[in-house]
Amino acid sequence: MNRFNESYHKFYASIMKQFTSNIAFTMLLLTHSIFFTIAFAAVNKNKSSTIKVYQLQYQETEPGVDAYKVRMLVSKRYIRIDTLGDNSGYIIFDGKKNIIYSLSHFDRRILVINPKNGAKNKPADNLNIHPVIEYMPLVNAPKVAGKTIYNYRVFSGKNKNRQTCMTIQLVKGLLPAVTRILKKYQQLISAQQVVMLKNTIKSVQTPCYLIDQIFNAGLYYDKGLPIQEWHSNQQTKILLGYKQLNVDAKLFDLPASYSRFSIPVTN
């Protein structure tokens, strides 16, 4: 029992002892008690309806599209992703259920991404891809939150004709609780991509496409928080800033009236 509750009940008990013979006053106190009980419950409800998150804001680019900003709200269990200025929908990742929900207000539908067929994030031997990782500190780069920036680069192999599949600058050890759930999210994206690979034409399945777009299990998140990314499909991502704040827990809700569907996978 907190101090407010304890003090109030002591006050209530002392008044009731003095005025038990006064029916009118007793009724007044009873009404007063009900009011404070409801008010106190409302305060507690309001407290429990907020959730502590890290807000990360990015600028992203991709071919044929103007640069746009993306906001991520990351809690211990959830991620919510919004494209700023676009109110057509949002993405929710539930880390406890390991499910991604992509919501569209336009057709009032929710795409459910939840590959349960044991999809693996490691390439099969017959694909003949052998990524090579280069990881080194950027000694001349300024520190972020007192931590060193590292360059994480993935190549398509060891030979002289190898290609760069992704280049990521990350801050070692920054926001470990955030990077843990971001890795889970990326692993689920990868698992879904693995399931869908059989629907992708062979000519598209280059080594970098497979390494970066399909079997990218987010291993870089084990090192730290990415602040700048370049990927083989020419998509880029720059972290503009982050902060911790409390937000309404309803931001992670899904409309009950929206229908749900999954992408069918052909055998």
pLDDT tens digits for 161-200? 899 999 999 999 999 999 999 999 999 999 999 988 988 9
Q: Structure pTM?
A: 0.79
Are the beta carbons of 33 and 214 closer than 8 angstroms?
Answer: no
**Any alpha helices (H) in 19-104, and if so which ranges?**
23-48
Query: How is domain 50-261 classified at the architecture level of CATH?
Result: Clam (2.50)
Which whole-number Å values give the CA distances from 82 to 184, 206, 224, in the listed order? Answer: 18, 31, 23
pLDDT tens digits for 110-153? 999 998 654 566 776 667 788 999 999 999 999 999 999 999 99
pLDDT of residue 125: 67
Q: What percent of the chain has pLDDT over 70?
A: 77
> What average pLDDT score do residues 14-18 get?
42
Domain boundaries of the chain, sorted by first residue: 3-48, 50-261
* Number of residues that make up the chain: 267
| Strands of 99-104's sheet in order across | 132-137, 149-155, 164-172, 224-231, 236-248, 50-62, 65-74, 78-83, 89-94, 99-104, 109-113, 259-261
